[in-house]
A and B are shown apart, each in its own frame.
Chain A
């Protein structure tokens, strides 16, 4: 598994350094009997754009607020830049936060908002002015200094919040659901702007999000959380292609999951028998599980090929397909045309439904298949992820 994971394409991140700038050590947070964060150990490296990803109530925001100093861990220690920050109040920590609601002071001009933190640090007047202008320039709000926040759009207010935090040159910038309040078009734009901004300033960014697309698109690494526990910490590609559990496979992206029994597990191949699949699943790698144990086969929809199946034909011979390709038969029950791609829902012989995506490569592709058409579904022996939990 691990050597396979390493094979996934890794985004070049020359600005990420080796040293851990954030370290959570056995962090637990309880509210009465409720455990919000459960014994989390996590290191975040300097220069990373790190995402804390998970459904609401998974503890990701609590973890972020512990870095800012708004929450104190019940157990464990938090280190920022090697320093145990347990006794540091929020105003003494070398981190700054961009709040979900942006929290731009409504009674202050944009420039005064950005200057606020500098004035608190006792920075000289001329220096304040220069750095405020620089920060506004950085977030493309040059010339907006004299506006009041209510004269700005939501996206612009977020830039003010970004400038206000970055102007203090924190060691770490914390972002709480930074894109959730923006509309879809603006969100796409802000995604790439956040990435390039982070590369430009070279500061470690830590983002909390419940949106897996957002985390995959922006982050250099993600931690997926579930009920206070760290489920998996990995690069976006590893999370998607090599999930370590059913929860991660299901939470990150769309997936077809089949419960099965590990029938054969050799060095170079394995076979899983799943009741809902008419043919055994052939895998071109070993699984390291006990023979006869229950496993789950997770298959991403876009990794399933669909071929026409004339009524009454025997299982297709895929001479031109790579060795070990898996094939099952089914009937198309639903088609959702999305423009760039089409989603098909196929009913297998076991009456289990399976999803597959098909890119519309030409303008006529969407006419290829129709409702109630019999098809073959096939996938490569390396495509399914086998999950032990």
Chain B
């Protein structure tokens, strides 16, 4: 088979050419243009001179922008960590469910993907806002407790002050965890599902309880799945734009929001391009780090 495929170079080229051309024209070329812009200067409203200056990058490394980069990394990191903590038990449960249940549970995990991100985010606003379901729920318990106190002759509680759950960093993280959880669960699930069950049974047989079996056998063996889950969650979380824009307050903007402002309101494409590429280098760095971590146990 392989032999005949190699010989049929014409067919091979005919199949490979359209996607290659598409990638070249609509991905690599625009990316190159933006990359070139990052070394340019604004000379008019729509004119950019490619002067080869590093000024945009120098400006991007100013404390103001560095702190936003740092904050984005922290927000994405916390999001990833929370996704891991929530997603691991979920993935484990799916991997051990009966085949019938498995299909349904996976469907549940995938279901949010089929809904537009914007709609999902507005739905979350409906849940978290002051007149939202979370506050309604708490208020209900609050009133219940208040009347209970009255019943036993104590002073009733005051009026319920709705919690501010929106337009802050916590709201952004809640939103990001909600959006990115499937990215974490699916690679974890596929790693756990592939695992030889007899390894876990061997651990139990040798005297380990369930917790130690998970910590000493399941987690180390699922490490590649964990690493890819972390990466696949962290990268889009780092570049998220819509969630911090809609759920965040004035101080919760992430780097993608800053980039958006450069391209639109500030009309400073060269600076926006420089910021974009710094974000991309950060992503490459994360991928390289993951590859290094995965190579470390090497002898496997």
Contact = CB atoms under 8 A, between A and B. Distances in A.
- The main secondary structure of chain B at its interface with chain A is helix
Contacts of A103: 196, 198-199, 201-202
Nearest to B213: A91
B28 interface: no
A107 B300 CA distance: 7
Contact of B212 (A69, A100, A120): A120
Given A103-B198, A106-B300, A91 B207 contact: yes
Contacts of A168: 206-207
B118 to A, nearest CB: 43
Given A103-B199, A107-B300, A91 B217 contact: no
B200 to A, nearest CB: 9
Contacts of B297: 107
A164 interface: yes
A196 interface: no
| Band of interface residues on B | 20 to 34
B62 interface: no
A151 B198 CA distance: 20
Contact of A101 (B198, B207, B209, B212): B198
Nearest to A96: B205
Given A90-B205, A96-B205, A116-B206, A148 B199 contact: no
A91 B201 contact: no
Nearest to B207: A120
A121 interface: yes
B300 A117 contact: no
Interface in A84-143: 89-92, 95-97, 99-101, 103, 105-107, 116-117, 120-121
A337 interface: no
Contact of A91 (B196, B209, B221): B209
A91 B300 contact: no
Contact of B220 (A107, A117, A148, A164): A107
A97 B205 contact: yes
Interface in A149-168: 150-151, 161, 164-165, 168
B203 interface: yes
Contact of A148 (B209, B212, B221, B300): B300
- Of the listed residues A99, A107, A165, the one surrounded by the most CB atoms of chain B closer than 10 A to its CB is A107
B163 interface: no
Contacts of B207: 91-92, 117, 120-121, 168
Contacts of B217: 105
13 contacts: A90-B205, A91-B206, A99-B202, A103-B198, A106-B300, A107-B220, A107-B221, A116-B203, A116-B208, A117-B207, A120-B208, A120-B212, A168-B206
Given A91-B204, A165-B206, 13 more contacts: A69-B204, A70-B201, A91-B207, A96-B206, A99-B202, A100-B198, A101-B196, A103-B196, A105-B217, A107-B220, A117-B207, A120-B206, A148-B300
